[in-house]
Amino acid sequence: MRVNGAVESLDVQPWVSLLDALRDRLGVTGPKKGCDQGACGACTVLADGVRINACLALAVQYDGREITTVEGLASGEELHPLQAAFIRHDGLQCGYCTPGQLCSAVAMLAEHRAGMPSAVTERSGELTEAEIRERMSGNLCRCGAYNGIVDAIRDVAAQEAR
């Protein structure tokens, strides 16, 4: 398995979740455990660029795959545009859901670019606020930083469009 570009070799029992493998075995603690049952999205990571709930994935299923966590989003010291936008728009409070929100947002923008529709997609295909809210609804934020998160994503999407 490659985690944030580095090859990691792990010997785990078949019942170990990808989330526990990352957090407890590899010390990659960016992905968070909020519910351990796919209800909160705090554990969202990218598997070959696609967002998944790492708590619902078994580590052994991801043998040989490319996993990106929040730790892998920045390029060295330079933050990913979404990370910078989350800070600028205050799209976070306690920070615990933030890694999942960020990974989810990265993949969500890619899904939209690829033309994948959501339940609220209109003919124009424009990335409206309603689209972002719909597509991000798998990531809970109990602090209620939703407005800031949506603003940050819109900001980055607009930058990308330019």
Strands (E), the chain: 2-3, 6-7, 44-47, 50-53, 66-68
Q: Quick check: 159 binds other proteins (CB under 8 A)?
A: no
- What DSSP designation does 96 have? S
Q: Which is nearer to other proteins, 62 or 98 (CB)?
A: 98
Site size for other proteins (CB under 8 A): 60
**Rounded to whole angstroms, how far apart are CA atoms 17 and 155?**
34
Q: Quick check: 99 binds other proteins (CB under 8 A)?
A: yes
For the bound state, the minimum distance from the C-beta of residue 27 to other proteins, rounded and expressed in Å, comes to 7
Question: Among 56, 79, 81, 110, which residue interacts with other proteins (rule: CB under 8 A)?
Answer: 79
Helices (H) and strands (E) in the chain, counts: 5, 5
Phi, psi for residue 68 in degrees, rounded to 5: -115, 125
Q: Quick check: 43 binds other proteins (CB under 8 A)?
A: no
Residues 48-77, interacting with other proteins (CB under 8 A): 69-71, 73-74
Q: Quick check: 87 binds other proteins (CB under 8 A)?
A: yes
Residues near 24 by Cβ (< 8 Å), separated by ≥ 6? none
Q: What would the x/- binding string for other proteins be over residues 104 to 133, using CB under 8 A?
A: -------------------------x--xx
Query: Both tokens of residue 112?
Result: 């939209």
Question: Among 1, 3, 18, 30, which residue interacts with other proteins (rule: CB under 8 A)?
Answer: 30
Residue with tokens 């947002």: 105
Phi, psi for residue 12 in degrees, rounded to 5: -125, 155
**Rounded to whole angstroms, how far apart are CA atoms 155 and 87?**
12
Question: Given the rule CB under 8 A, which of 46-54, 56-64, 87-95, 109-117 is the region that contacts other proteins?
Answer: 87-95
Catalog residues that contact other proteins under the rule CB under 8 A: 13, 15-16, 20, 23-24, 27-40, 42, 69-71, 73-74, 79, 83, 86-88, 90, 92-99, 102, 129, 132-134, 136-150
